[in-house]
Structure 1
């Protein structure tokens, strides 16, 4: 029985199938997805269909990302905006029209039931982007921070450079509430890495699947991880996200 966390997929259905196979997923595994399932590569609708299928066989936790917020609004209300369309939304719409999944209520329910964050029994926090409140998630926090915040990641990167003795005496306030934090949203490829990055108590699992990187599954107990091929190799005729 493993607990595995999965980074941002961005419509990379082929990468999702590849890492599920490489990690040898069974129905005994708990799967925690960090959001941004859509927008980027051409198979967003197929990706959501696969996630719904996994929820029937496995204990799954689905966190909401900023791209999922946009897609959910479109499926529910037909709402679009220029920023979304320019950052993968147009490809997502095309995938839904091509597959016919645009009419499936199961997809609307999937987006409506996404969680802002998840806290497990070992006080490990899972959130798409971050949070800003010194009191932790769910307290004096704007909902949008869970989908957009990058200050938590920046604080973790800075804390990682501080002397450990100083950190033990003066831990950053936001990190005091949790044993570990897992995020996506900020690609590790921004730091010239296609593998997960650990900074202080925080693990960044977004390894750039939307761009030139890979999709990653990580075992939160052992820290072993499995990755897909780089996404441009799986979708050679496509550009991915801009």
Structure 2
């Protein structure tokens, strides 16, 4: 990392506001215990779906940006949520990939299963601030020898030619590649029991919504260590 700079990179939250709050408190404690560097928090995407408090997670991230330097990247679940605001067909697909929990973080569950009515009620309940936040999410962030992205990069493609879709969705082609990508890539998207630290990439998605373990990678100088719930 550049001199006098520290990064806190946070993995996939997936609606677990309780874990996000606990991890942010741990970050605050670490910053207080080790003052000095310019600190930046980098959130790797997938804030919504599967867990119970997606709406609250978005509120918390927006509030965090008011008091901390924070970079929020887009995950594939944020992209699908945005698509679902515009298309009932996308909404139907989204419900099957964890979106139902997000819907119920905005509106109360209703009996009868009328999907069209649910879609319209949910769209009316999503604050304009949430939509603006989702639309402004970055695809990636570079600092020092590290590149931060939700899913990964397509091998053999220069960074400036990488597609936003690949950065949010790619899996096997990236995970199976041992090549150097020009930076050490810090990513989430593919849940693992433990953080995966390899020569060319570091995966910090530890399946928080199911495991209760939300992971943060701390980078300063040539040092790196982990904080986790």
TM-score norm. by structure 1 comes to: 0.76
Q: Which residue of 1 aligns with 2:23?
A: 19
Which one of 32, 44, 48 corresponds to residue 42 of structure 2?
A: 32
Q: Distance in 1 between matches of 2:210 and 2:176?
A: 21
- Where does the alignment leave 5 or more consecutive residues of structure 2 unmatched? 33-37, 109-121
- Where does the alignment leave 5 or more consecutive residues of structure 1 unmatched? 160-171, 229-242
Counterpart secondary structure, 2:74: coil
CA RMSD of aligned residues (A): 2.2
Matched, 1:124 2:146: yes
Q: Higher mean Cα deviation, 145-154 or 209-218?
A: 209-218
Matched, 1:154 2:154: no
Q: Which residue of 2 aligns with 1:202?
A: 201
Q: Which residue of 2 aligns with 1:74?
A: 84
Aligned pairs for 1:1-242 (under 5 A) are 2-24=6-28, 29-75=39-85, 77=86, 79=88, 80-98=90-108, 102-120=125-143, 122-139=144-161, 141-150=162-171, 151-155=173-177, 159=178, 172=179, 175-178=180-183, 180-188=184-192, 193=193, 195-221=194-220, 222-228=223-229
Map Cα deviations across residues 34-80 of structure 1 (whole Å, 9 max, x no partner). 000000111000000000000111111111111010112334x2543
Which one has a larger percent strand, Structure 1 or Structure 2?
2
Q: 1:213 to 1:14 in 2, by over 3 A?
A: closer
TM-score norm. by structure 2 comes to: 0.80
Map Cα deviations across residues 181-227 of structure 1 (whole Å, 9 max, x no partner). 10000011xxxx3x321011211010111323510111022322211
Please list every run of at least 4 consecutive aligned residues from structure 1 whose deviation after the TM superposition is greater than 4 angstroms. Answer: 25-28
Q: Which residue of 2 aligns with 1:169?
A: none
Q: Which residue of 2 aligns with 1:236?
A: none
